[in-house]
Chains A and B, each alone.
Chain A
Amino acid sequence: MSVATAPAPAPPRAPAAPPPPPSAARSLAVMVRWGLRPLRRAPLVWGGGVGALCALMAAMWPSIEDSMADLMQSYPESLRTAFGIEELTTVEAYVDAEMLSLVIPFVLGFFAIRSVERAVVGAEDRGHLDVLLALPLRRAVLLVGAWLAAGAALAGVLAVAWALTWLVGTAAGTGISAVTMAAGFAGVWPLAMCFAGLAALVSGLAHRPAVVTGVAFGTLAAMYTVDLVGRLSEPVEPLRWASAFHWYGSAVHDGIDPLHVLLLSGAGLAMVLVGALLFERRDVR
């Protein structure tokens, strides 16, 4: 006959000094890793998608190269100036005009904004922050970690897009420059991170994901418009300095300007820090 016995009760816990909360640096490293988990396929999906489009543009270049000069002449000069397409004589300039001046900043700006929004307000909306913020974790670390994770994922997306463009461009015999294209793609990073910072700032105030994405992406579109109109209209021109796209410029034509990179990334980081202060003070729903 067997006798069922209850498990022995656990011994009373000896009074001990409370465990110190983890350091901010350690928490930040964990949160960046945590933030990267849902983004681990992004380089393949977003980088692959954007890269395929850029690669298509590069692959088309040999077939349209000869007619490009005539096509450019048919455009009004102001339009050529506005879109920075005065001289489309190289494959790099063509990819820049077709993709890097509008499509990629918009698409990857949206990616960076959504990455931050999903990790903060999106997680709040899904009820995940009730678990996460009941841990010894500063809200500021969560926000900065989300921004850094978005930055790391964005770097991966840009690297894949650049690699695809260069590989296909080279295979198509365009003589595409790896260095020039790398500068072009790298220039998108600070621009997108500036708007990711804006998303973090709005996350410090708003509870709804749609509000965060809407405000940040709306600002991106508005800034693009101000920069574009400022090139065409003298009265609007002085406002261009307030547009991130003015500082984005064209790394393919002018190379990377470290000051502009610093300005855009610094603005992004500053907005993250302000957002962190606001996030610390608000309710989590």
Chain B
Amino acid sequence: MAPVVETERLTKRYRRGRGIEALTLRVERGEVFGFLGPNGAGKTTTIRTLLGLLRPTSGTARLFGLDARRDGLAVRARTGNLPGEFAFAPRMSGRAPALAERLQADLDRPIGELSRGNREKVGIIQALFHAPDLLVLDEPTSGLDPIMQREFLALVGEERARGTTVFLSSHDLDEVQRVCDRVGMVREGRLIAVEEVARMRERAHHEVRVRFAVPVHPEEVAAVPGVEGLRVEGDGLAFRAVGDLDPVVKALARHPVCDLEITHPTLEELFLRHYRPAEEGR
């Protein structure tokens, strides 16, 4: 079965400014794919090219195995879209009772009279009400309060359970971590990494904080394979453990340990590790 979203060296260049460059990715049916990147990285350009709003400079974009522009009608009949800045005819109102009730959206009032958050709810409803096979969401929770964000993420989970594919662009790493199966990171118009969220976290380093009952020389711990960034914190040590944790645990166990804390980094920390070298290099 063809992937729901498939791009091959998709490139969009603007006369002024960067768009996206040779972006190749696949999103399979039923997958929730997070598309991460800072502002201006090319997330919205990618989405608007997938939806046929922009003409690619080169490369191809296929949705459901169909060309995003040439077969745009058939593609868009199966797609729900929530743009980043949901704007619509201000005098329009609408009807979609079940979803509206769940999101506490007031569909009787004209869109122009609604707050940003409530307009966003209307946007979510219009993207979902026709039960699309593909949901394209560009920073969907930016205007929602935390309760509605949670409700929305629950909705995304239900859509996935129904077999809907979700392409979710965001820079809210927490929401990506909570709902996405895989994540692609885009920087300066280029896709720099695509990983399963679970694997990414598995492969990631651990943050270790340890306090010993007796003084231990920091250099002894620093010499253990995989220990990085060792620092002394009060009467304890803190460091990053990269790779296999076993030699680290065994090395620490040679001394009497009072307290040990091993945590996974958040996706945000992982994300920043991807971006920091480029930013520091400027």
Contact = CB atoms under 8 A, between A and B. Distances in A.
Interface of A: 9-13, 15, 18-21, 37-38, 123, 126-138, 281-284
Given A9-B161, A12-B162, A130-B48, A37 B87 contact: no
Nearest to B50: A134
Contacts of B126: 131
A21 B75 CA distance: 9
A131 B86 contact: yes
Interface residues of B, number: 32
Contacts of B247: none
28 contacts: A10-B158, A12-B162, A13-B163, A15-B163, A18-B77, A18-B133, A21-B73, A21-B74, A21-B77, A37-B89, A37-B91, A38-B89, A128-B89, A130-B83, A130-B87, A131-B83, A131-B86, A131-B87, A132-B88, A133-B52, A136-B74, A136-B77, A138-B73, A281-B55, A283-B53, A283-B55, A284-B48, A284-B54
Given A18-B78, A283-B55, A128 B163 contact: no
Contact of A282 (B48, B55, B74, B85): B55
A133 B85 contact: no
A126 B54 contact: no
B162 A13 contact: yes
- Ranked nearest first, the 10 interchain pairs of A and B with the lowest CB-CB distance are A134-B81, A127-B87, A136-B77, A21-B73, A130-B83, A284-B53, A21-B77, A13-B162, A136-B76, A13-B163
Contacts, number: 80
A12 B55 contact: no
A123 B88 CA distance: 8
Interface in B156-203: 158, 161-164
A38 to B, nearest CB: 7
Contacts of B162: 10-13
B131 interface: yes
A130 B76 contact: no
A196 to B, nearest CB: 20
Contact of B88 (A13, A19, A37, A128): A128
Contacts of A137: 73, 76
Contacts of A282: 55
Interface string B64-77: 10000000011011
Interface in B11-62: 48, 51-55
A6 to B, nearest CB: 9
Contacts of A127: 83, 85, 87
A138 B77 CA distance: 11
Contacts of B141: none
B64 to A, nearest CB: 7
B158 A18 contact: no
A24 to B, nearest CB: 9
A134 B83 contact: yes
Contact of A13 (B53, B73, B123, B131): B131
Nearest to A24: B73
A270 B72 CA distance: 24
Contacts of A123: 89
B79 interface: yes
Contacts of A284: 48, 53-54
Nearest to B126: A131
Nearest to B85: A127
A20 B158 contact: no
A10 B64 contact: no
Contacts of B158: 9-10
